[in-house]
Amino acid sequence: PSVKPETMNDLELGLSHQSNNLTISLNLYYMLFENEIVKNGKVDRFGQLITGNVERTTHTGIEFSFILKPSDYFELFGNASYSRNTISEGKHYLSEIESIDITGNKISGFPEFLSNLGIQFNYSEILLKINAKYVGEFYSDNFDDNLNNYLITFPDFVDYSDNKNDAYLVLDFYGSYEFNLFNGLTNSRLFLQVNNVFDNLYSAYAIGKEFFPAAERNFIAGIQLGL
């Protein structure tokens, strides 16, 4: 019924380089939380996430991004991050007097590895872009790989035994053609966007026992009229 305010101490170190055709950035971070507000793997009767405090948590990671322009028409871009998001000290309360020690477990909803990689072609009125996104595996609750062990000690404290959302890779495409329609409608555009080009079947997110499938291949086509 009540949640304490969280506090954070953050230490970061970053480097960047920029030239005519290359931009690179690198960032390291180390975050210490007290009473971090985290998802506990449950939803309320309205389907909203239930959150609560964890005594101490630690987030460490490295982030990298780049933009490379080998020519006036082509652009390569991407970013990636690797992180560890763990509960340094915490409990999951079964009742007012009984709890499970979840110290050392990974925090729910945090993939360790994330990355995006894309290529863009822009010539005159034509724009073509392909982007690939990878999301590593993550847990739907704060029980980590220890869920089955907890179920042995505390039978049926949850009614599921699978709490891992598998990693997935998805590819998207976007293309457009700009044109002037009559004299007054400038910067008009025809466009086509295709999401999940290879029609992969995957779970995009998970909360406790609930896994949410992503959309299959889908597309949007249209025309934008500029004034």
Render pLDDT for 37-62 as a digit per residue (tens, 0 to 9).
999 888 888 878 889 899 999 999 99
pLDDT value at residue 192: 96
Report pTM. 0.90
CB 1 within 8 A of CB 35: no
**Residue of 201, 189, 188 whose CA lies nearest to 227:** 188
pLDDT value at residue 137: 97
What residue ranges in 102-217 does DSSP mark as E strands? 113-123, 126-135, 138-139, 164-165, 168-181, 185-195, 203-207, 210-213
Instruction: Give the rounded percent of residues in the chain with a pLDDT score beyond 70.
Output: 97
Length of the chain as a residue count: 227
115-142: pLDDT as tens digits: 999 999 999 889 999 999 999 999 999 9
Dihedral of alpha carbons 2, 107, 150, 209, sign? positive
